Structure 1
Amino acid sequence: MAEGGVTDLALDETQKELQECPICYTEYKDPRMLDCSHSFCLKCLQELRLTQNKDDKNIVCPLCRKETALTGAGVDMLPGGSKDVNQQEQTEGQGLKVMCQACDEENEAISRCRDCKHYLCQECLKAHNRLASLRAHKIVALTELNVESEEITEDIELKKVPKCCKHTDHDLCLYCDTCEVLICNECTNFDHRESLHSHISVDEAFSKCKQEVNESASKTEEYIKAFLSANPVSVDHSRYRLDMMLAKTYSQITLKAEKEITKIREKEKQLKKEARDIVIKRDMEFAYATIPEQTLSKVNEVMTTATYYEILESKKKMLRDLNEQVKVHKSLDIKHGKSFLGFKESEEDVQLGTLLLEEKWERDETFANVYGSGQLAAYSTTLAINKDDQLLILDNPAVKIFNKEYQLLHQFLPGKEAGVDGTPTCLAVDSSNLIADWLILVL
C-alpha cells in the first residue's frame, strides 16, 4: 500500500468533475445536494424542476433517476452540496488534505463514495450510511484510494471467504465453470458432480473473470471513445438540453394558446355587441309599431267618455296624433321575420362564426313526421315560401300557411274561393304574397 494518503493522480482525475455541475458543466453556483448525494447548481435544479411534473412533490436526479422529496419551498431548501476539492499544503510529511464535499463545515474527508463520487468526513459518512437508499454504495477509505488500492481491495475481498448457502458449514472454495456459480466441496457430490460439471479454483476463476471483464471493458471503452468522437456533446448534457427544449416548447404552446383564446374572447365580445345592437334597433321598431294602437285607443276613449266640449277642444290634437301615427306606421318595416336572430358556427379551426339575421327554411324531419305522417317528400310541388318567409302547404283540398315555429296561421280552400270545383295540384306565390297560379284537375 502506498504511503502519503491520496495521490496527486487521484486528485487530478476527480478535481474537474468535483468542481463542475453535471448539468451546466460550469463551476458550481450555489450548489444543492439531492438525497442521492448528487449535487447541482440551484438554478439548474430550478430549471430542471420546471421540466418535471410540478404537481409531484419529488424531483428526479438526472444522473441516477432517484427521487428526492421536496418541501413547500421546493429545491431552495435542499442542503448545500459539493463546491470543490480544497487542496492545501500542510506541514512537511503530512501530504495533501482533502475536504468533505457533503457539508460546509470544512471537515477533512476520511473516505470517498465511489457511487456518489463525493469525499466524506466522519459525520457525513455516518449520515450516508444511515440512508437505506445509499447503503449499497461502495465506500473506500482515503488510505486505500491510490494506485495500488484496487489490487489491495481485491486481496482483502478474497480473504473473506463466504459460506455455501446449501452446506452452511463449508466454504465456497470452488467455481463451477459449467453453471458459472461458486460452490463448496459438498456441492461436487450433488448438484455439481464432476462427471457432468467442470470445476476450477476460485483464484483461477477470478483470473479468467478478470481477463474476460478487462477484454469486454476494453471493447466498451473503444466503443465509448468512438461514440464520444462522433458525438462531442455528452449524453447528460443532451438529456438536460432535451428537458430544457421541452419546457421551452410547453411555454411556446401555452403562449400561442393564450393569444388565440384572447382573439376568440375579443371576437365573442364583438359578436355579442353586434347582436345586442341589432336587437335594440329591432325592438325599438316593434315598440313604435304599438304606438298607433295606443294612440287610437286613447282617441276612442276620449270620443266615448268625454263631453262635447272636451272633444271639440281635443279635436286638433287627436287628428294630428292620428295622422302622425299613420305616417310612422307606413315608414316602419315591421315583419315577423325580424324577431329572428341566430348564429352559424364556423367550420374553420379557432374561428367562431357569424350572426344570422334572416331565417332560411330547411327541411325538418321532425315537422315532416308530425305533419302529414312524413308524406311531405312525396308532394314537394305542394310547398311554397312567400316573401314573409312563411310556409305554404297544399294539404288537399286546403292550403295551409305556417310560420317558422310551425304554427298554423291561416288556411283556405282555393277551389271554392275561385269558384271552381276541382283539386289543386301545385302552388305558386307572387311577390305580393298572392297565390298567382295553381292547376286544377277537373273531375
Structure 2
Amino acid sequence: MAEATAKTMLGEISQGHLECPICFCRYKDPKILDCLHTFCLNCLDGMLSKQQPSTGKITCPVCRKETPVPDAGLPGLLDCFFLSSLVDEINQQERSLETQQQAATSPTCDDCEEGLEAVSRCLDCEGYLCQLCKTAHKRSKRTQTHRVTPVEHLEQKEVPSTDLSKTYSPKCQKHANQEMHFYCETCKMMKCGTCATIDHRSADHQLSEITDAVKSYRQEVNDVMQKFQKSKEEFKANEESVEQARNRLQIMVTQACSDIQAKKEEEIAKIERKSQLLIDNVTEIGKKRDDEFVKVHTNNKKKMEQAEEIEATVTDLMKQADDFELLNLKPKVMHNLEFQKDLKFERVKHGDSFIGVKCQDVVSDKDLGEILHGGKWKLKTEFGKRGDGDGEFNCAMGIACFSNGDIAANDVKNKRVSVFTSTGNLKANFDLNAPYGIAVTSDDVLLAHCEDHVKVFDTSHQLISKFNLPQADSKDQSCSLTYTGGVTVDNKNQVAVVYKKTGVTSLHNLDGSLIKVIPNTEMVPIDIVANNKGCLIFAMFGRSELRCVDLNGKELFNVSTSADGKDAKPTGVCCDDEGDIYVTLHCGRRGGSSEVRHYDSKGVYVDCVAKPLHWPWGITFSPSGELVVADQNSVKIFHRV
C-alpha cells in the first residue's frame, strides 16, 4: 500500500511540474525560452519546423512571446539543469518502487514460456530470468556483457538518488579544464580566470566574483518584486474603485428608471411608448458604460495575471536554481522583469458612473425626458445671515439632518444649536457650547461634542444624558484652530469622537459606554465621518489632507487636498450611501474662494461639486440626497440637476 501511494504521489508531482506543455510527457532535454517557459528540445524543434523559417524566432505556445533562435540552432538555447535533474530523480525513484513491487510478488521468467520462478534480473534488458535462461543469457554474445543481478539483491539495493542540491559548475567553453569564477556585467557572461585576465580586463568590462554577482542579482530581483507588491496594492484599489463605480452606476440607472416610471404613471395614456423608449436608452447607456468598466477591469486583471505569472516563474527560479544557472538566465529574467516599468493600470471615468433623467411634461411631438450624462449640482436653497438674532449665524460650523429633513446647525460663537425646516424656517433654538461637532443618529437622537464630553438630546431636543471622553495627557498638535474635534455616528449607532485636547479618537455606545480607544489616530481633525463600511475619515485642516482608518487604527489611505494646484484645507466631510466622500475646502485666506469637492471611497478626486462658497465648514446629506453646507453665515442646500 505504501509503495502504491508513493508511486501515485510521484506521478502527481510529475504531471503537475515535470511534463512538457507541448507533448504532456516528462521533459527530455528541457530548454528555456526568453519568457522563462520550458519545453522539450524535440517539441521546440517540431514547432519551429511548422513556423516561418525565415523569421529566426520561435513563438512560445503558452504566452506567445518570441525568442530568437541561436546561431547554433535550438540546441544553443539554455538548458534547464534543475528540471533535468528532477526528472532523473523521479524516474529512478519509480524504477526503485517497481523493482520492490516485482520482488515482493515472486516474479517469473520473462524469456521462456514455462513460467519458471525467476532467480535473476538483467538490468540492461529490464527482464527477469530463470536459472536456465540466466545461463543462456550469459553465453549469448549479444547479452554476455549485460549486468545480471540475483533477485534477492534487488530488495536490498537502493537506487542512488540524484543530489538536487549539488551545485552545477560549468566549465569554460574556451578553456575546458577551468571553472567559471567571474561574471562580466558588461557582456552578461560567466568567465573563467584566464578569460577574465585576457579578454575582460579592460576598463570597459565590469567584472565581479560569482558570489558577489549572484548577491547583487538577487537584490536587484528583490527590489523589482517589492515594487511589484505595490503594483498589486494599486491593482486591488483600482479593482475596488471599478466595482464601486459599477455599483453606483447601477443604483443611478435604477433610480433614473424609477423616475421615468413615475412620470409614465402620471400620463400613462399618452407616454407609454416614449417612456419605455427612454428606459431602454438609459439601460443601454448604462450597459455600454458598464461594459467599459468591465473592460478596464479585465485589462487590468489581464496585466496583473501576466505579471503574477512572471513573478511566480521568477520566484520559483530564484528559490530552486543554483547560482550558475541563475547567472545564465539573468538577461532573460531581467528582460521579463521589465514589465514592472510599464505596469500601469487604467482608471475608470468616474463621471460615467452617474446617469439620471430630467423629466418634463410630454406633448405629442416631445420626448418624455432628457438623459443626463453627468452629475451637476446647483444651489437650491439658502437661508440665514450674519447676526445674533433668531435664524441668524455668527459662525455656523456643525451641520446635521434629521430623518424628516429638518436641519440642525451649530453656531459656535453664538453658542447655540438651531433647528430649521428643510426650507429654512426656524423651529427651535437651544443654548449649547459645542466647539464644533454635532451628529444625528438614525433614530433622530442629536449628539453634540462639547469640550470634554458629549451631550445627547432626544427627538424633542431635550437633554437626556451626557458622557465624558477618555482623559489623557495633552499633546502638542499641529492644528491651531480653536474649534477642532468632531463627532460622528456609524450605521451601527456607534459614536466616534475626537477629544480636541489630546487628538485621541474614542468609540462609544449610544449610552456613552466606551467600546475602545482607536489606536494610531493621535490627531486634531476639524471634522470626522463614518463611511458605509464603518471606517473613519478625518478632515485634517492643519495638514491639508484626508485620512481614512478602520476601527483598529489601520490607515487605509491618506491623500492631500488641493485646488488649482495649491493646497486646500478641508473643513468638513461627509459620505453618501455608496461611500463616496464630499469635502468642504478653504482654498484661500479670503472668503469667497472656497468649494465643495467630490472624492471616491478610496480618496481619488472625482470633481468639483460647488464653488465659490464664502467660508464653508460642516457638510452633510439630507434624507433626499441633497448636500447641506454650513457656510459660516448661512446654510446652503445643493441638489443634482
Structure with greater helix percent: 1
TM-score (norm 1): 0.26
Structure with greater strand percent: 2
Q: Which has the larger radius of gyration?
A: 1
TM-score (norm 2): 0.19
